Amino acid sequence: MKKTGYSKAAVVGRDCRGIRPALEAHGFEIVGKKPDFVVSFGGDGTLLYAERAFPGAPKLRVRANRSCISCGAKGKKAQWQYFPTIAHYDRARQFRCLNCLPPVLEKIRDGRASIVEEPKIHAILFTQTGRKRKEFTALNEVQVHNEHVSAIRFAVSVGSRLVAEHASGDGAIVATPFGSTGYFNAVTRRVFSKGFAIAFNNPTRPRHAIYLPNLRPPVKITVLERDGVLVADNDAENPSLRHGDYVIVSEAKEKARLIRTA
Ligand SMILES: [Zn+2]
């Protein structure tokens, strides 16, 4: 059987010095462009950044100087970690630390590592007149969020169905299954494993607190009153949404590819 082992790695993270020797010791060439795979050296936020920097390239999740679920290493601070759901635990187990990384690097080099594909979200921001302004791709979630403290008022359609004519609150979130253990879970306390879901963020009227799992995109969110911003994962670029502006959210053509380590 032909081996499809990788040889070129890119590294993304705040301080990559710790990871480079481990990669070089396993014969990987560290590159800045066209890597075979990308090491995300940090936490969940680093992974989102790595996916934007190298969309679609397989990602390996490695944590520095932290307690490690994979090998049981104890960090300086955390004695134990709390996981609200099994999904949170499973996600944490996909991170390796520098101690338990070598066997995974050998698998990647020798073509024995398996890759999981995760769907991503594509969001297009339109002006009131229907002019396309900006496009984003997200791994975790896309939100329309109020720009200032006062509640934003907005409408939501799923396909041709108007599901909320006049909602108000802090906005709406459309999340992927992968993202459902992230910010989406902080807002809804829910996790899901299939399709996409939309939830309203801190709605001013309880009856607006809808949560639609397994929804079929496209989802359209239209700003009716007050200003909003479009937030895609932890992207620092958050364009403003004025009255009448709208966002169409659908499934992205490309998928994220994550290297399984557990
Ligand atoms: Zn470890």
Q: What is the pLDDT of residues 8-22, one digit of tens each?
A: 999 999 888 889 999
Range of the domain at 84: 8-113
Same domain, 84 and 193: no
Task: Out of 98, 113, 128, pick the residue that ends a domain.
Answer: 113
State the distance from the centre of ligand 1 to the C-alpha of 235, rounded, in angstroms.
28
pLDDT one-digit tens code per residue, 89-130: 999 999 999 999 999 999 999 999 999 999 999 999 999 999
Residue 108 sits in a domain whose CATH number is 3.40.50
Residue 3 counted as domain residue:
no
Q: Is residue 80 part of a domain?
A: yes
Q: pTM of this prediction? A: 0.92
Pair 132, 54 in one domain: no
Q: What would the pLDDT profile of 175-222 be if each residue is shown by its tens digit?
A: 999 999 999 999 988 999 988 999 999 888 765 566 777 777 899 999
Does 100 share its domain with 140?
A: no
SS (H, E, C) the chain: CCCCCCCEEEEEECCCCCCHHHHHHCCCEECCCCCCEEEEECCHHHHHHHHHHCCCCCEEEECCCCCCCCCCCCCCCCCCCCCCCHHHHHHHHCCECCCCCHHHHHHHHHCCCCEEEEEEEEEEEECCCCCEEEEEEECCEEEEEECCCCCEEEEEEECCEEEEEEEEECEEEEECCHHHHCHHHHHHCCCCCCCEEEEEECCCCHHHCCEEEEECCCEEEEEEECCEEEEECCCCCCCEECCCCEEEEEEEEEEEEEECCC
What is the whole-number distance in angstroms between the Cα of residue 44 and the centre of ligand 1? 16
Question: How many Å lie between the centroid of ligand 1 and the Cα of residue 186?
Answer: 26
Q: How far is the CA of 260 from the centre of ligand 1 (A)?
A: 14
CA of 73 to the centre of ligand 1 (A): 6
Instruction: Compute, in angstroms, the gap from residue 26 CA to the centroid of ligand 1.
Output: 17
CATH of residue 125's domain is: 2.60.200.30
